[in-house]
Amino acid sequence: MASVVGEVLIWGGESEVLIDGIEEFARRFEKGYGAKGGGRVSTVVTRGAAHMEPILELALGYKGDSGTGGAKVVADWARAKL
């Protein structure tokens, strides 16, 4: 897969109900993905954020320092890849 997609972002919120599973998935994914073709995995856990927060921040029009910044993390990562 790393030959098709060179880099992957895994995002989770610190206040996420599923954060333990997200972090475990990230560890396993990074171990397998990076070892089989040199793909890079960035895992980011945003302090105070919860499930669906980046989408809600965009939908509600949060700007600047409002919200937790989850949407900014995802947008900045995607912008850096374009």
Q: What is the pLDDT of residue 31?
A: 86
Please indicate whether residue 81 or residue 35 has the higher confidence score (pLDDT). 81
- pLDDT tens across 21-49, in order? 999 999 999 888 766 666 788 999 988 88
On whether the CB atoms of residues 63 and 28 are closer than 8 A, the answer is: no
> How do the domains of the chain map onto residue ranges?
7-81
Could you say which DSSP state residue 4 is in?
T
DSSP assignment string, 9-20: EEEEETT-TTHH
Q: What is the pTM of this model?
A: 0.76
Percent of the chain whose pLDDT exceeds 90: 27
Alpha-helical runs (H) found in the chain = 19-35, 53-59, 70-81
CB atoms within 10 A of CB 31: 11
